[in-house]
Amino acid sequence: MHSSQRSQESSLYRPVETRAALAQLWQAAGQPAEALSHIRLTGTEPVLPSSFAVGTAAQASIAASALAAAELWHLRCGRHQLVTVDMRHAAIEFRSERYLRVDGQAPSDVWDKIAGIYRCGDGRWVRLHTNFPHHRDGMLALLACDYDKAAVQEALLDWHAEEFEEAAAQAGLVATAKRSFEEWDHHPQGVAVAALPIFSIERIGDASPRPLPAAPRPLSGVRVLDLTRIIAGPVCGRALAAHGADVLLVTAPHLPSIEPLAIDTGRGKLSCQIDLRDAAGQSALRALLRDTDVFVQGYRPGALQS
Protein backbone atom coordinates (compact mmCIF):
# COMPACT_ATOMS: atom_id res chain seq x y z
CA MET A 1 0.00 0.00 0.00
CA HIS A 2 3.04 2.25 -0.21
CA SER A 3 2.83 4.84 -3.00
CA SER A 4 5.20 7.58 -4.10
CA GLN A 5 2.32 9.34 -5.83
CA ARG A 6 0.47 10.52 -2.72
CA SER A 7 -1.01 13.99 -2.94
CA GLN A 8 1.04 16.71 -1.25
CA GLU A 9 -2.20 18.25 -0.03
CA SER A 10 -3.31 15.15 1.89
CA SER A 11 -1.63 13.66 4.95
CA LEU A 12 -4.06 10.72 5.08
CA TYR A 13 -3.89 7.34 3.40
CA ARG A 14 -5.58 6.67 0.10
CA PRO A 15 -8.14 3.93 0.72
CA VAL A 16 -7.28 0.54 -0.76
CA GLU A 17 -10.02 -2.04 -1.17
CA THR A 18 -9.23 -4.95 1.12
CA ARG A 19 -9.84 -7.63 -1.46
CA ALA A 20 -7.28 -5.99 -3.76
CA ALA A 21 -4.75 -5.85 -0.90
CA LEU A 22 -5.45 -9.50 -0.09
CA ALA A 23 -5.02 -10.48 -3.74
CA GLN A 24 -1.65 -8.72 -3.78
CA LEU A 25 -0.49 -10.67 -0.72
CA TRP A 26 -1.83 -13.92 -2.13
CA GLN A 27 -0.12 -13.36 -5.45
CA ALA A 28 3.18 -12.53 -3.74
CA ALA A 29 2.97 -15.89 -1.97
CA GLY A 30 2.52 -17.64 -5.31
CA GLN A 31 -0.86 -19.07 -4.36
CA PRO A 32 -3.70 -19.91 -6.81
CA ALA A 33 -6.08 -17.05 -7.50
CA GLU A 34 -9.11 -19.37 -7.43
CA ALA A 35 -8.64 -19.84 -3.68
CA LEU A 36 -9.75 -16.21 -3.18
CA SER A 37 -13.30 -17.31 -3.95
CA HIS A 38 -13.32 -19.10 -0.60
CA ILE A 39 -13.07 -15.95 1.52
CA ARG A 40 -15.67 -13.45 2.68
CA LEU A 41 -14.69 -9.98 3.92
CA THR A 42 -17.00 -7.72 5.92
CA GLY A 43 -16.72 -4.22 7.35
CA THR A 44 -15.26 -0.93 6.08
CA GLU A 45 -12.80 1.78 7.09
CA PRO A 46 -12.35 3.61 9.35
CA VAL A 47 -12.20 1.29 12.34
CA LEU A 48 -9.28 2.86 14.24
CA PRO A 49 -8.09 6.48 14.47
CA SER A 50 -5.01 6.54 12.26
CA SER A 51 -3.37 8.24 9.29
CA PHE A 52 -3.05 4.76 7.81
CA ALA A 53 -5.56 2.16 6.60
CA VAL A 54 -4.99 0.02 9.67
CA GLY A 55 -8.29 -1.82 9.34
CA THR A 56 -7.51 -2.73 5.74
CA ALA A 57 -4.00 -3.90 6.61
CA ALA A 58 -5.32 -5.95 9.52
CA GLN A 59 -8.13 -7.55 7.56
CA ALA A 60 -6.02 -8.31 4.47
CA SER A 61 -3.10 -9.85 6.39
CA ILE A 62 -5.27 -11.91 8.75
CA ALA A 63 -7.39 -13.04 5.79
CA ALA A 64 -4.26 -14.16 3.93
CA SER A 65 -3.10 -16.13 6.98
CA ALA A 66 -6.51 -17.72 7.50
CA LEU A 67 -6.89 -18.57 3.82
CA ALA A 68 -3.44 -20.18 3.78
CA ALA A 69 -4.48 -22.32 6.74
CA ALA A 70 -7.69 -23.29 4.95
CA GLU A 71 -5.74 -24.23 1.82
CA LEU A 72 -3.39 -26.42 3.86
CA TRP A 73 -6.38 -28.07 5.53
CA HIS A 74 -7.80 -28.75 2.05
CA LEU A 75 -4.52 -30.41 1.04
CA ARG A 76 -4.61 -32.59 4.15
CA CYS A 77 -8.30 -33.47 4.17
CA GLY A 78 -9.67 -32.71 0.71
CA ARG A 79 -12.34 -30.36 2.02
CA HIS A 80 -12.74 -26.61 1.44
CA GLN A 81 -13.86 -24.06 4.01
CA LEU A 82 -15.37 -20.61 3.61
CA VAL A 83 -13.19 -18.14 5.54
CA THR A 84 -14.87 -15.00 6.91
CA VAL A 85 -12.88 -12.06 8.33
CA ASP A 86 -14.56 -8.94 9.69
CA MET A 87 -12.52 -5.73 9.56
CA ARG A 88 -13.45 -4.62 13.08
CA HIS A 89 -12.55 -8.02 14.52
CA ALA A 90 -9.24 -7.97 12.63
CA ALA A 91 -8.42 -4.47 13.89
CA ILE A 92 -9.08 -5.54 17.48
CA GLU A 93 -6.72 -8.46 17.03
CA PHE A 94 -4.11 -6.02 15.71
CA ARG A 95 -3.99 -4.34 19.11
CA SER A 96 -5.13 -7.25 21.25
CA GLU A 97 -2.75 -6.37 24.09
CA ARG A 98 -5.11 -3.49 24.93
CA TYR A 99 -7.94 -5.91 25.64
CA LEU A 100 -5.92 -8.51 27.55
CA ARG A 101 -7.14 -9.34 31.06
CA VAL A 102 -5.36 -11.32 33.77
CA ASP A 103 -7.75 -12.56 36.47
CA GLY A 104 -10.21 -9.96 35.22
CA GLN A 105 -7.74 -7.10 35.52
CA ALA A 106 -5.87 -5.11 32.88
CA PRO A 107 -2.10 -5.78 32.97
CA SER A 108 0.53 -3.14 33.59
CA ASP A 109 1.03 -0.39 31.02
CA VAL A 110 2.87 -1.54 27.91
CA TRP A 111 4.76 1.75 27.58
CA ASP A 112 7.65 3.10 29.63
CA LYS A 113 6.85 6.45 31.24
CA ILE A 114 9.13 8.49 28.95
CA ALA A 115 8.23 6.68 25.72
CA GLY A 116 6.21 8.78 23.33
CA ILE A 117 6.20 11.79 21.01
CA TYR A 118 8.17 14.96 21.71
CA ARG A 119 8.72 18.30 20.01
CA CYS A 120 12.28 19.23 19.06
CA GLY A 121 13.96 22.61 18.79
CA ASP A 122 13.31 22.87 15.04
CA GLY A 123 9.56 22.49 15.56
CA ARG A 124 9.52 18.91 14.31
CA TRP A 125 8.69 15.78 16.30
CA VAL A 126 10.35 12.55 17.36
CA ARG A 127 9.03 9.34 18.88
CA LEU A 128 11.08 7.59 21.56
CA HIS A 129 10.87 3.88 22.37
CA THR A 130 12.30 3.22 25.83
CA ASN A 131 10.52 0.07 26.98
CA PHE A 132 13.71 -1.92 27.49
CA PRO A 133 16.00 -0.78 30.32
CA HIS A 134 19.08 -0.43 28.10
CA HIS A 135 17.12 1.73 25.63
CA ARG A 136 15.75 3.87 28.45
CA ASP A 137 19.12 4.31 30.15
CA GLY A 138 20.87 5.03 26.86
CA MET A 139 18.27 7.64 25.95
CA LEU A 140 18.66 9.42 29.29
CA ALA A 141 22.45 9.38 28.88
CA LEU A 142 22.22 10.81 25.37
CA LEU A 143 19.88 13.58 26.54
CA ALA A 144 21.74 14.08 29.85
CA CYS A 145 18.45 14.48 31.69
CA ASP A 146 16.37 12.98 34.49
CA TYR A 147 13.92 10.11 34.10
CA ASP A 148 10.93 12.39 33.65
CA LYS A 149 8.81 13.36 30.62
CA ALA A 150 9.16 17.08 31.30
CA ALA A 151 12.94 16.76 31.56
CA VAL A 152 13.08 14.77 28.32
CA GLN A 153 10.97 17.37 26.54
CA GLU A 154 13.20 20.20 27.74
CA ALA A 155 16.34 18.35 26.64
CA LEU A 156 14.96 17.64 23.17
CA LEU A 157 14.42 21.34 22.53
CA ASP A 158 18.20 21.53 22.12
CA TRP A 159 18.05 19.09 19.20
CA HIS A 160 16.81 19.06 15.61
CA ALA A 161 14.59 16.03 15.02
CA GLU A 162 16.60 14.33 12.30
CA GLU A 163 19.90 15.02 14.03
CA PHE A 164 18.57 13.40 17.19
CA GLU A 165 17.28 10.42 15.21
CA GLU A 166 20.77 9.90 13.76
CA ALA A 167 22.50 10.34 17.14
CA ALA A 168 20.12 7.83 18.72
CA ALA A 169 20.72 5.33 15.94
CA GLN A 170 24.48 5.67 16.33
CA ALA A 171 24.06 4.94 20.05
CA GLY A 172 22.00 1.82 19.36
CA LEU A 173 18.78 3.43 20.60
CA VAL A 174 15.26 3.57 19.17
CA ALA A 175 14.00 7.00 18.12
CA THR A 176 12.41 8.14 14.87
CA ALA A 177 11.73 11.59 13.43
CA LYS A 178 8.18 12.20 12.26
CA ARG A 179 7.91 12.64 8.48
CA SER A 180 5.20 13.36 5.96
CA PHE A 181 4.38 10.73 3.37
CA GLU A 182 6.27 12.75 0.76
CA GLU A 183 9.34 13.09 2.99
CA TRP A 184 9.40 9.36 3.62
CA ASP A 185 9.02 8.62 -0.09
CA HIS A 186 12.24 10.60 -0.75
CA HIS A 187 14.19 9.36 2.27
CA PRO A 188 16.94 6.83 1.35
CA GLN A 189 15.38 4.18 3.57
CA GLY A 190 11.91 4.89 2.19
CA VAL A 191 13.23 4.54 -1.36
CA ALA A 192 14.98 1.28 -0.45
CA VAL A 193 11.90 -0.23 1.18
CA ALA A 194 9.64 0.83 -1.71
CA ALA A 195 11.84 -1.13 -4.12
CA LEU A 196 11.39 -4.37 -2.15
CA PRO A 197 8.51 -6.85 -2.54
CA ILE A 198 5.95 -7.01 0.26
CA PHE A 199 7.62 -10.25 1.31
CA SER A 200 9.61 -13.01 -0.34
CA ILE A 201 9.74 -16.79 -0.08
CA GLU A 202 13.13 -18.38 -0.74
CA ARG A 203 14.16 -22.03 -0.70
CA ILE A 204 17.15 -22.36 1.65
CA GLY A 205 17.60 -26.15 1.76
CA ASP A 206 17.20 -29.34 -0.26
CA ALA A 207 15.39 -31.54 2.25
CA SER A 208 12.27 -33.30 1.04
CA PRO A 209 8.94 -32.04 2.41
CA ARG A 210 7.63 -34.02 5.37
CA PRO A 211 4.22 -35.46 4.48
CA LEU A 212 1.34 -34.42 6.71
CA PRO A 213 -1.53 -36.88 7.20
CA ALA A 214 -5.19 -35.94 7.51
CA ALA A 215 -5.76 -34.06 10.77
CA PRO A 216 -8.52 -32.20 12.63
CA ARG A 217 -6.80 -28.81 12.29
CA PRO A 218 -4.70 -27.25 9.51
CA LEU A 219 -1.38 -27.37 11.39
CA SER A 220 -1.97 -30.33 13.71
CA GLY A 221 1.30 -32.16 14.27
CA VAL A 222 3.49 -29.34 12.93
CA ARG A 223 6.32 -28.51 15.34
CA VAL A 224 7.37 -24.84 15.54
CA LEU A 225 10.34 -23.37 17.38
CA ASP A 226 9.73 -19.69 18.14
CA LEU A 227 12.89 -17.65 18.79
CA THR A 228 11.33 -14.18 18.60
CA ARG A 229 10.51 -11.26 20.87
CA ILE A 230 8.17 -8.27 21.27
CA ILE A 231 5.39 -8.25 18.60
CA ALA A 232 5.89 -9.29 14.96
CA GLY A 233 7.66 -12.63 15.45
CA PRO A 234 5.62 -13.69 18.50
CA VAL A 235 2.38 -12.91 16.63
CA CYS A 236 3.59 -15.20 13.84
CA GLY A 237 4.06 -18.02 16.33
CA ARG A 238 0.69 -17.26 17.93
CA ALA A 239 -1.03 -17.49 14.53
CA LEU A 240 0.56 -20.88 13.85
CA ALA A 241 -0.57 -22.09 17.29
CA ALA A 242 -4.10 -20.85 16.61
CA HIS A 243 -4.26 -23.17 13.60
CA GLY A 244 -3.12 -26.20 15.59
CA ALA A 245 0.69 -26.16 15.51
CA ASP A 246 2.73 -27.21 18.53
CA VAL A 247 4.69 -24.01 19.22
CA LEU A 248 7.59 -23.79 21.67
CA LEU A 249 8.76 -20.28 22.56
CA VAL A 250 12.43 -20.05 23.52
CA THR A 251 13.51 -17.16 25.75
CA ALA A 252 16.17 -16.63 28.42
CA PRO A 253 16.24 -15.33 32.01
CA HIS A 254 18.58 -12.43 31.16
CA LEU A 255 16.46 -11.06 28.29
CA PRO A 256 14.10 -8.22 29.23
CA SER A 257 10.48 -8.57 28.21
CA ILE A 258 7.32 -6.49 28.13
CA GLU A 259 4.96 -8.52 30.29
CA PRO A 260 1.59 -7.69 28.65
CA LEU A 261 3.01 -8.45 25.20
CA ALA A 262 4.63 -11.68 26.41
CA ILE A 263 1.30 -12.84 27.83
CA ASP A 264 -0.80 -11.76 24.86
CA THR A 265 1.48 -13.18 22.16
CA GLY A 266 2.08 -16.35 24.19
CA ARG A 267 -1.45 -17.65 23.75
CA GLY A 268 -1.43 -21.30 22.67
CA LYS A 269 2.34 -21.76 23.10
CA LEU A 270 4.62 -23.74 25.36
CA SER A 271 7.76 -21.94 26.53
CA CYS A 272 11.24 -22.68 27.84
CA GLN A 273 14.35 -20.73 28.83
CA ILE A 274 17.72 -21.37 27.19
CA ASP A 275 20.80 -19.20 27.59
CA LEU A 276 22.37 -19.13 24.11
CA ARG A 277 25.49 -17.37 25.42
CA ASP A 278 27.03 -20.67 26.53
CA ALA A 279 27.80 -23.95 24.78
CA ALA A 280 25.22 -25.96 26.73
CA GLY A 281 22.43 -23.62 25.67
CA GLN A 282 23.54 -23.68 22.04
CA SER A 283 23.60 -27.48 22.13
CA ALA A 284 20.09 -27.55 23.62
CA LEU A 285 18.79 -25.31 20.84
CA ARG A 286 20.35 -27.51 18.15
CA ALA A 287 18.70 -30.57 19.71
CA LEU A 288 15.32 -28.86 19.56
CA LEU A 289 15.90 -27.82 15.95
CA ARG A 290 16.44 -31.44 14.90
CA ASP A 291 12.78 -32.20 15.66
CA THR A 292 11.41 -28.89 14.35
CA ASP A 293 9.37 -28.37 11.17
CA VAL A 294 9.27 -24.56 11.31
CA PHE A 295 11.88 -22.25 12.86
CA VAL A 296 10.71 -18.68 13.42
CA GLN A 297 13.46 -16.23 14.36
CA GLY A 298 13.47 -12.43 14.40
CA TYR A 299 17.13 -11.56 14.89
CA ARG A 300 19.07 -9.43 12.43
CA PRO A 301 21.23 -11.25 9.84
CA GLY A 302 24.31 -12.75 11.44
CA ALA A 303 23.17 -12.21 15.04
CA LEU A 304 22.58 -15.89 15.84
CA GLN A 305 25.89 -16.94 14.33
CA SER A 306 27.71 -14.49 16.59
Q: What is the CATH number of domain 116-194?
A: 3.30.1540.10
Mean pLDDT of 148-170: 98
Output the pLDDT for position 14.
Answer: 52
CA nearest neighbour of 20 among 198, 206, 160, 274: 198
Q: How far apart are CA 1 and CA 56, in angstroms?
A: 10
Q: How far apart are CA 198 and CA 195, in angstroms?
A: 9
Mean pLDDT of 150-159: 99
Share of the chain above pLDDT 90, in %: 85
pTM score above 0.95: no
Q: How far apart are CA 267 and CA 243, in angstroms?
A: 12
Domain ranges of the chain: 18-98, 116-194, 223-297
Segment 187-243, tens digit of pLDDT: 999 999 999 999 999 988 888 888 888 888 999 999 999 999 999 999 999 999 999
205: exposed, middle or buried (Cβ count in 10 Å: 0-12, 13-18, 19+): exposed
Output the pLDDT for position 68.
Answer: 98
Q: What is the CATH number of domain 223-297?
A: 3.40.50.10540
